[in-house]
Structures are given as C-alpha cells and as structure tokens.
C-alpha cells in the first residue's frame, strides 16, 4: 500500500509537471504571437506615416504664400494659414468646368465599363460555344499590349469620326477593358448554377437571369471594378492630353497645367487645386473599400 501511494504521488507530480510545461509553453507562444503582432503593427504605422508625408506636404504648401513655398529650411507648418488660396483657384482658372468634365468622363466610363465587362464576362462564364476559351485567352492577351501602341490608331479613328474635343471621344475608347472582363468572369464562375436553374424553371430568360440573379450576387466584384475604373479615369492624363485642345473640354488633370506658366509656377495654388482634386477619388475609394478585398478574393477562386 505504501509503494502504491508513493507511485500514485510520483505519477501525479509527473503529470502536473507536464501540464505546467504545456501551460507555460502555450503562454510563451501566445506571448511571442502578441509581440510579433505589436512589432508588425508598429512597422505598418511607420509605413503609413511615410506614405502620408506627400499628402501632408501638399496640404501644407496649399495654405502657404508664394514666398513661403521656397523658404529654406522648409517649414511643415506655416506661420499663418492662407485659406484664400482655395478660393483663388476658382478665379485663376475655370476649375469648376475642369471638375465637371472629369466627373462626367469618370462616371460615364465607369458605368459603361460595368455594362460591357459584365455582359462579356457572363457570356464567357456561362455560355458554351466553340472556341470560347481560346477567344477569352486571346482577349486577355491584349493586356500585354502597351497602351502607347494603340494610342495613335485610336486617335486617328477618333479624329476621322470628328470626336476630338467631345465627351464621346474622351469616354468611348476607355469603356472596354480585358481586366474588368477577367475580374467579373472569375467571380461569376463562383456563383452556383443552381440559382440559374431555379430561375429557368420559373421561366426567366437569359437576360433576366443576368440582370436579376447574377448582378445582385456580384456586388463585391462590380464595386471593385467600379472603384478601380473611376480612380484610373479620374487620374488619367495621357488620353485627354491627346484628344482635347479646347480649354472648356479639359479634365482636371489637364486643368492643373493652367497653374504652370512659362516662366513661373504658382505652387501654392497648384497644390490647393491638387488637394481639391484628390477628394472625389479618395471618397470613392473609402466608400468602396469594404468591397475591394472581398471582390478580389472571390474573383481568384476559380480559373
């Protein structure tokens, strides 16, 4: 009996030591995990601050006088804030017209891109026809062609149609995108076909299924494509520079050049105009941010 009690005591102490080691090991691993997260968070904060430096410098320059811009050493925070620079932007150039042109072009290109890309993506994802995969791969291959290669033929075509200095010439060449078709096609393939089969039983047509079944289920992918398209068109400089000659048809990116003279540049007014120009694209990005990751993630599940 004495030996058994000794053995049981030894076994209990042995198992307790093992449990204590496991607990201490778990605590140590949790501590390391928390520490790594803290270090990663600090690094990401420094990276975020580093990326915000140009925006802060632009805003700081926009509220300075013309003389304070070139002071050395440079001052991050001016002695006096000149908000009147923002009102002068509207007086020096037709800034409102530039904003209107950029808004019209960006919104129309975004809407038409969603229409054309979703229709083509639905055809590639659901219709079965000879050469479908070959045509799709050929269409994706156009993404490898630099835009500079097709820029001159597009301009010649637009000029022959008489669409220079028009909204049509600014909008139509940009409403077809292989990236948008690929993004939506990948997302459409993740939608179960049972939804379409149920709609067919109820007598729905192909277009009815596309409009009332596929599109409502594809809001994340559509929002992702909309954000990318709007931001790209809002910042687009090259194509408007080619097809626009009249000042009344200039977009915001072209309008910013109005603050640059032959011999001098109003950097404070230029930065004020740039800050106001960032606000719409930034707002669109913030509003669609929650759909971006979801749309990109689901679009890469099936190939």
pLDDT at res. 106: 94
Nearest to 49 by CA among 39, 61, 37, 57: 57
pLDDT at res. 26: 54
Distance CA 284, CA 91 (A): 27
Distance CA 230, CA 110 (A): 6
Q: Is 152 left (phi over 0), alpha (psi -120 to 50) or beta?
A: alpha
Q: How confident is the model at residue 232 (pLDDT cuts 50, 70, 90)?
A: very high
pLDDT beyond 90 at 109: yes
Distance CA 264, CA 205 (A): 63
pLDDT at res. 107: 94
Distance CA 71, CA 56 (A): 17
Task: For residues 145-150, give the mean pLDDT.
Answer: 86
pLDDT at res. 59: 86
Host H or E run for residue 120: helix 95-126
Q: How confident is the model at residue 159 (pLDDT cuts 50, 70, 90)?
A: very high
Q: Cis omega (within 30 of 0) on the bond before 205? A: no
Q: Quick one: CA torsion of 65, 66, 72, 73, rounded to 10 degrees? A: 40
Distance CA 271, CA 268 (A): 5
pLDDT at res. 296: 58
pLDDT at res. 202: 85
pTM over 0.85: no
pLDDT at res. 56: 87
pLDDT at res. 57: 86
271/67: higher pLDDT: 271
Instruction: Spell out the CATH class of 88-299.
Output: mainly alpha
pLDDT beyond 90 at 116: yes
Task: For residues 224-240, give the mean pLDDT.
Answer: 91
pLDDT tens digit string along 176-206?
Answer: 989 999 989 988 988 888 888 888 888 888 8
Distance CA 226, CA 180 (A): 9
Percent of the chain with pLDDT over 70: 83
- Which of 31-40, 69-78, 119-128, 178-187 comes out lowest in average pLDDT? 31-40
pLDDT beyond 90 at 271: no
pLDDT tens digit string along 124-136?
Answer: 998 888 888 899 9
3/265: higher pLDDT: 265
pLDDT beyond 60 at 149: yes
112/29: higher pLDDT: 112
């Amino acid at each position: 009996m004495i030996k058994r009690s000794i053995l049981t005591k030894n076994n209990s102490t042995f198992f307790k030591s093992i449990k204590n080691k496991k607990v201490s090991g778990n605590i140590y691993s949790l501590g390391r995990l928390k520490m790594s997260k803290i270090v990663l968070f600090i690094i990401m904060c420094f990276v975020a601050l580093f990326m915000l430096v140009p925006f802060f410098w632009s805003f700081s320059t926009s509220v300075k006088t013309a003389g304070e811009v070139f002071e050395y050493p440079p001052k991050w925070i001016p002695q006096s804030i000149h908000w009147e620079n923002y009102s002068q932007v509207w007086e020096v150039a037709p800034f409102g017209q530039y904003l209107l042109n950029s808004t019209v072009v960006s919104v129309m290109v975004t809407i038409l891109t969603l229409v054309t890309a979703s229709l083509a993506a639905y055809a590639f994802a659901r219709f079965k026809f000879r050469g479908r995969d070959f045509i799709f791969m050929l269409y994706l291959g156009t993404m490898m062609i630099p835009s500079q290669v097709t820029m001159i033929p597009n301009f010649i075509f637009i000029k022959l149609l008489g669409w220079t200095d028009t909204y049509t010439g600014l909008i139509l060449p940009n409403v077809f995108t292989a990236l948008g078709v690929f993004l939506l096609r990948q997302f459409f393939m993740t939608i179960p076909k049972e939804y379409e089969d149920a709609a067919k039983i109820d007598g729905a047509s192909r277009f009815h299924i596309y409009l009332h079944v596929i599109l409502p289920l594809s809001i994340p992918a559509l929002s992702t494509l909309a954000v990318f398209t709007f931001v790209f068109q809002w910042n687009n400089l090259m194509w408007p520079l080619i097809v626009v000659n009249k000042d009344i048809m200039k977009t915001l990116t072209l309008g910013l050049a109005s603050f640059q003279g032959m011999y001098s540049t109003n950097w404070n007014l230029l930065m004020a105009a740039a800050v106001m120009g960032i606000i719409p694209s930034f707002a669109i990005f913030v509003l669609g941010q929650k759909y971006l990751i979801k749309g990109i993630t689901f679009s890469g599940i099936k190939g």
